[in-house]
Amino acid sequence: MKPKETRLQLQAAPLLKQNMTTGQTMRDVLLALLPATLAGLWYFGLGALLVLLCSIAGAMLTEWIFSPADSRFERLSDYTALLTGLLLGLTLPPALPLWMAFIGGAAAIGLGKLIWGGMGQNLFNPALVGRAFLLATFPIAMTTWSPQTGPADFFQISASNLAAPFMQAAYDGVSAATPLGLMKFEQQSTALWALVSGNTSGCIGETSGLLLLLGGLYLLLRRDLDWRIPAGILGSAALFSAVLYILDPIKFPGPLFSIFSGGLLLGAIYMATDPVTSPLTPRGAWIFAVGIGLLVILIRIYGGFPEGVMYAILLMNAATPLIDRYTQPRVFGKGIKNQ
């Protein structure tokens, strides 16, 4: 019997490949964010959902408009625009006017990703670029926090959500300080359980520490994130605030409060770990992470804002090329004395 002649394909080795793909990683991150997102909707209602959708729409539409016509679908199907829009939305106040959320999404993709040359080329985390843009442009809307409505009033949308573009937003009157605001301006702590479960005011997706950690655990098990970054950020932030707490327990918050309040968990697990904008090398990752942890606490305590996660991450993003340059691994067999 003669072997059947088939057309053989030539391919340069290696012919084997592990199964994980970048698209799959993005889907994993979306999945990991789902519980915290649902918790945000539970606490803040339909308004929050609309903010998320507008931010995602802004991001995806910008990606679509500025992609070459023949690769639009392909660019959108890698989920990065969706993920950027969602991450940005999760860091926005629930009562933010929807048009601002949309602009934020557009800025995140346009200024955060596309002008750098697209996926993999940007220096700063796109979602945080969008947020920084919004904070600089609409400082009042970005720092006005509404109290939680709870599931009973799910369909109650706050008037400010529906403010017409470029008009002054009308707030419902009742505003609520975030735990960090309370801490900074009134030296008032919040119960730990409220922080862990998410029953506080704050950005849509940052309140539930427990669910954020759960998603992080999933990503860790799927090996989608560099564990050094969240470990380094949370560890150094906890250590630094513990030192301050021991020095003056009345003025400074304890380590657990520092970790579970504000956007630290969201930033440490889902934003600082963005591989594009964090160092490549393991040693670099530690430096990067510890830098963020220290900066967060420094900004929270000595800065003008009650929260510092965004600026801490953006600052360390800027330092990433430098960190990478100085932490290149030692090549095997280099620097060994020939005997």
- Considering beta carbons, is residue 121 or 137 the nearer one to other proteins? 121
Residues 191-230 that bind other proteins (CB under 8 A): 226
* Shortest Cβ 284–other proteins spacing (Å): 9
| Binder of other proteins out of 155, 166, 302, 332 (CB under 8 A) | 332
Among 13, 69, 136, 167, binds other proteins (CB under 8 A): 13
Residue whose token pair is 């040693």: 283
| Cα–Cα distance list, 111 to 20, 91, 129, 136 (Å) | 29, 17, 7, 14
25 contacts other proteins (rule: CB under 8 A):
yes
Q: For residue 68, what is the DSSP state?
A: -
Question: How many CB atoms sit inside 10 A of residue 281's CB?
Answer: 16
Among 34, 120, 193, 326, binds other proteins (CB under 8 A): 120
**Four-CA torsion 11, 15, 20, 24, nearest 10 degrees:** 20
Among 34, 65, 74, 322, binds other proteins (CB under 8 A): 74
Of 123 and 256, CB closest to other proteins: 123
Taking the complex as a whole, the smallest distance from the CB of residue 73 to other proteins amounts, in Å, to: 11
Which token pair is 255? 């380590």
Q: In angstroms, what CA-CA distances link 26 with 80, 84, 85, 142, 220? A: 7, 10, 13, 27, 14
Counting residues that bind other proteins (by CB under 8 A) gives 49
Is 68 an interacting residue with respect to other proteins (CB under 8 A)?
Answer: no
Of the candidates 263, 85, 55, 45, the residue with the CA atom closest to the CA atom of residue 172: 45
Which member of 61, 119, 176, 220 binds other proteins (CB under 8 A)? Answer: 119
Distance, CA of 55 to CA of 308 (rounded, Å): 22
Contact flag: residue 248 with other proteins (CB under 8 A): no
Q: Which residues bind other proteins (CB under 8 A)?
A: 1-18, 20-25, 74, 78, 118-121, 226, 275-276, 278, 280-282, 285, 328-334, 336-339
